[in-house]
A = this chain, B = another copy of it.
């Protein structure tokens, strides 16, 4: 089997760890290009970003140029928002290259961004391209895992999901995203932008409910600040005083056929003591699944993106979501 030619597009912390992992899959993958809009990266060897000891021979460029024509798959990691990603994804479609993306809203845009989903699906089909948005959350722990678990249920009446994670274990942009160090006033201003907090919760809920044959009619969510009860020491924000924000609590509820069928609860804050992921399906039988210390965020995200490459390559064209594909799996070393 010849190696798949991969283009790394977006070299922030997550894009870089994706590229770093892809570099280890020497038998399956060949990175043929690395693209980032940041002028500070231009011309650098990819190894300078990934921390690899020896040069990769891949120079970072500001645009993909004719690399699209040579690539089999783009690993896309630029933004959580479809409004930013859609033009990039359209360009990938037009050049006929498959995409695995970290974009949270792409994980299941069929409820929250229906028009965008339809446009992307049409462009992908027309050009014989497969698009997939995935990750740990959305893409795995609060959706794919819940759908998979439902396989052993005769029926489900409600999906409950809980994710508690220690934000200090995650990359800096993530820590900023959850509001560490903000005042409650700043936090609330951020929430009002609608671009703050964990992106992808409605996407997970919509995906699970569609999979169970009960499309949601409405999803609501609210985001509140987790406040330091005593001084919390952090690596990036110094000491966060009592009364300041150390993270967030986010609740989402999905409604179908006039009743609440999904209840999601996320806590992401500095120093969370009992991190865990948990899915409970209320039904026949009621069944609970736990990942006791939680899914380790950033490396797990890089892993599921790279592990999804063969799934996207083998899939039929179109905008796919993880519910449409057999599960991404790892390799044994």
Min distance, Cβ A244 to any Cβ of chain B, angstroms: 30
Annotate A267-310 by CB proximity to B: 1 below 8 A, 0 otherwise: 00000000000000101110111111101100110111011100
CA distance A283 to B330 in the complex (A): 10
Within 8 A of B (CB), among A137-176: 140-141, 144-145, 147-148, 150-157
A52 on interface, CB distance cutoff 8 Å? no
Pick the contact of A329: B136, B140, B151 (CB < 8 A). Answer: B151
A192 on interface, CB distance cutoff 8 Å? no
Interface of A is mostly: mixed
| Inter-chain contacts of A21 with B (CB < 8 A) | 154
CA distance A333 to B152 in the complex (A): 15
**Do A295 and B287 contact each other (CB < 8 Å), given the known contacts A148-B144, A325-B326, A332-B214?**
yes
**Do A292 and B284 contact each other (CB < 8 Å), given the known contacts A140-B151, A332-B156?**
no
Inter-chain contact B154/A330, CB cutoff 8 Å: yes
A219 on interface, CB distance cutoff 8 Å? no
A328 on interface, CB distance cutoff 8 Å? yes
Within 8 A of B (CB), among A211-244: 211-214
A324 on interface, CB distance cutoff 8 Å? yes
Closest residue of chain B to A136 (Cβ to Cβ) is: B152
| Inter-chain contacts of A329 with B (CB < 8 A) | 147-148, 150-151, 211-212, 323
Within 8 A of B (CB), among A93-145: 136, 140-141, 144-145
Task: Please give the number of chain A residues whose Cβ is less than 8 angstroms from any Cβ of chain B in the complex.
Answer: 56
Closest residue of chain B to A308 (Cβ to Cβ) is: B151
Min distance, Cβ A155 to any Cβ of chain B, angstroms: 4
Pick the contact of A154: B140, B299, B323 (CB < 8 A). Answer: B299
A327 on interface, CB distance cutoff 8 Å? yes
Min distance, Cβ A266 to any Cβ of chain B, angstroms: 17
Min distance, Cβ A3 to any Cβ of chain B, angstroms: 15
A40 on interface, CB distance cutoff 8 Å? no
Inter-chain contact A212/B332, CB cutoff 8 Å: yes
| Inter-chain contacts of A327 with B (CB < 8 A) | 144, 147-148, 151, 326-327
| Inter-chain contacts of A328 with B (CB < 8 A) | 151
| Inter-chain contacts of A206 with B (CB < 8 A) | none
Inter-chain contact B145/A212, CB cutoff 8 Å: no
Inter-chain contact A302/B154, CB cutoff 8 Å: yes
Indicate the member of A156, A330, A331 with the most B CB atoms within 10 Å.
Answer: A330
Closest residue of chain B to A158 (Cβ to Cβ) is: B332
What are the 9 A-B residue pairs with the smallest beta carbon separation, nearest first? A152-B300, A150-B330, A214-B332, A212-B332, A151-B328, A148-B327, A155-B333, A153-B330, A285-B296
A152-B295, A214-B331, A326-B327 given; 16 more Cβ-contact pairs under 8 Å: A24-B155, A144-B151, A150-B330, A151-B308, A153-B300, A153-B303, A154-B299, A155-B333, A156-B330, A156-B331, A156-B332, A212-B330, A212-B331, A256-B332, A287-B295, A288-B292
For this complex, 11 residue pairs linking A to B, each with C-beta atoms less than 8 Å apart, are A24-B154, A147-B327, A151-B303, A152-B304, A153-B300, A153-B303, A212-B330, A285-B299, A285-B300, A289-B290, A325-B326
